[in-house]
């Protein structure tokens, strides 16, 4: 009796397992054991042919490709597929594709568990990018690893790198997208290969680079920052991409927002990327006691220069880095083709400068200077 119950139990279990197995190989399902075995006898399951030729006798070979996955080249189809039946789609031996892949690629399994930022398609399934069998691209990737693969999904980036007026040399150089991004995961934001964009930018921009469009040389930004210790806020945070779009843009110098190309331009707040962070009231309020420190009493000196006289920030400030002068003011500057010194001197409650534009002029927030006599009110 005990034995009978036990047998019933086993039968139920078998039934249970059988019904959970959803997928059956067609030949197996039809009982055509001879399609693969020399005898129908389950006790002598010799194969008709060696692996993988047996499978290739019905399935198109995966070996007519440049890059063949290790286990496929070894004919080990049955590591991943059960030749008879499985409860997993495609007769897979493991429930999810990522479990399957990471059962051998243990480092990638550790990565998925690491808590790093994982690229969403990697978390979803390795075969979003890799073919499990073979491919004409390295690492059995479904597109060229450096760029085409990425642009297949990132169509907005495709549009940007193809159609931007100011394209970035970096996109076509060396490792292309992979030069700045990791494809799987990264401890850094945006899958970056370094802790911040600045570190990445300066790997190339620590030399004077040639501009493709016009053959002009770009300044050596690494050297500039190293020689000018008073570094502008966003660069201090390591974020060159606060202002520049590394993928290219239609604005001057691949900026995310416009900035005047010339020393002088009619003022509008949206003509200057600076107002992404700074208050445009600095330039729009003719009289103020709050919007800016660059004022003579209430008279806004920023307004006079930038708005009324249309002088661009770059004539007075260096928004990358400066030295010896406060407020990121330049020592040497340019207006159009003219090169000269600002000769800025900081004073209590104000300052003065003596560029070629005018003789030394003073501004003082507390005791305004009479612009005609150049004297303070008291």
Binding flag, residue 97, ligand HEC (CB under 6 A) = yes
Q: From the list 159, 212, 290, 324, which residue makes contact with ligand HEC (rule: CB under 6 A)?
A: 212
Q: From the list 135, 185, 351, 368, which residue makes contact with ligand HEC (rule: CB under 6 A)?
A: 351
User: Cα–Cα distance between 163 and 18 in angstroms, integer?
Assistant: 56
Binding flag, residue 68, ligand HEC (CB under 6 A) = no
Binding flag, residue 317, ligand HEC (CB under 6 A) = yes
Interacting span for ligand HEC (CB under 6 A) from 4-12, 13-21, 113-121, 366-374? 113-121
Find tokens 């047998």 and name the residue: 7
- State the DSSP code for 4: H
Closest distance of CB 33 from ligand HEC, Å: 3
Strand partners, 329: 317
Q: From the list 3, 5, 115, 174, which residue makes contact with ligand HEC (rule: CB under 6 A)?
A: 174
For 136-160, b where at least 16 C-beta lie within 10 A, e where not — what string? ebeebbbbebbbebbbeeeeebbeb
Find tokens 């420190």 and name the residue: 293
Closest distance of CB 12 from ligand HEC, Å: 22
Cα 149–Cα 151–Cα 154 angle in degrees, nearest 5: 120
Residues 121-150 that bind ligand HEC (CB under 6 A): 121-122, 126-130, 132-133, 139-141, 145, 147, 149-150
The nearer residue to ligand HEC, 183 or 297, going by C-beta atoms, is: 183
Binding flag, residue 325, ligand HEC (CB under 6 A) = no
Binding flag, residue 297, ligand HEC (CB under 6 A) = no
Closest distance of CB 2 from ligand HEC, Å: 30
Binding flag, residue 78, ligand HEC (CB under 6 A) = yes
Binding flag, residue 197, ligand HEC (CB under 6 A) = yes
Helices within the chain (DSSP H only): 2-20, 26-29, 53-56, 70-73, 77-80, 97-104, 106-113, 120-124, 148-153, 155-163, 169-172, 177-180, 197-204, 221-227, 233-236, 281-284, 301-302, 313-316
Find tokens 């934001």 and name the residue: 189
């Amino acid at each position: 009796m005990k034995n009978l119950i036990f047998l019933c139990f086993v039968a139920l279990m078998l039934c249970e397992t059988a019904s959970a197995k959803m997928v059956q190989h067609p030949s197996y399902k039809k009982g055509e054991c001879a399609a693969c075995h020399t005898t129908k006898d389950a006790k002598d399951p010799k194969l008709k042919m060696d692996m993988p030729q047996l499978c290739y006798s019905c399935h198109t070979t995966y070996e007519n490709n440049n890059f063949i996955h290790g286990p496929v080249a070894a004919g080990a189809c049955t590591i991943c597929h059960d030749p008879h039946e499985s409860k997993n789609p495609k007769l897979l031996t493991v429930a999810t594709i990522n479990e399957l892949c990471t059962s051998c690629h243990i480092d990638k399994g550790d990565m998925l568990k690491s808590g790093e930022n994982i690229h969403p398609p990697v978390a979803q399934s390795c075969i979003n990018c890799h073919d499990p069998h073979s491919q004409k691209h390295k690492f059995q990737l479904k597109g060229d690893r450096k760029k085409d693969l990425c642009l297949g999904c990132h169509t907005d980036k495709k549009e940007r790198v193809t159609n931007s007026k100011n394209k970035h040399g970096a996109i076509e150089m060396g490792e292309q997208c992979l030069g700045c991004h990791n494809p799987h995961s990264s401890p850094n934001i945006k899958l970056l290969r370094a802790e911040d964009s600045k570190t990445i930018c300066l790997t190339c921009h620590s030399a004077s680079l040639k501009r493709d469009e016009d053959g002009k040389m770009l300044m050596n930004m690494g050297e500039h920052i190293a020689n000018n210790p008073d570094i502008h806020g966003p660069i201090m945070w390591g974020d060159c991409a606060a202002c520049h779009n590394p993928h290219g843009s239609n604005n001057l110098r691949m900026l995310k927002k416009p900035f005047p190309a010339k020393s002088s331009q009619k003022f509008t707040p949206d003509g200057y990327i600076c107002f992404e962070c700074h208050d445009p009231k600095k330039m729009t309020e003719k009289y103020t006691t709050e919007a800016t420190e660059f004022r003579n009493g209430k008279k806004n000196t920023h307004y006079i220069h930038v708005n009324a006289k249309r002088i661009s920030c770059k004539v007075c400030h260096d928004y990358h880095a400066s030295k010896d002068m406060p407020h990121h003011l330049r020592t040497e500057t340019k207006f159009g083709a003219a090169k000269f010194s600002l000769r800025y001197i900081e004073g209590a409650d104000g300052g003065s400068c003596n560029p070629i534009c005018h003789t030394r002029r003073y501004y003082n927030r507390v005791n305004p200077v009479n612009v005609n006599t150049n004297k303070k009110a008291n």
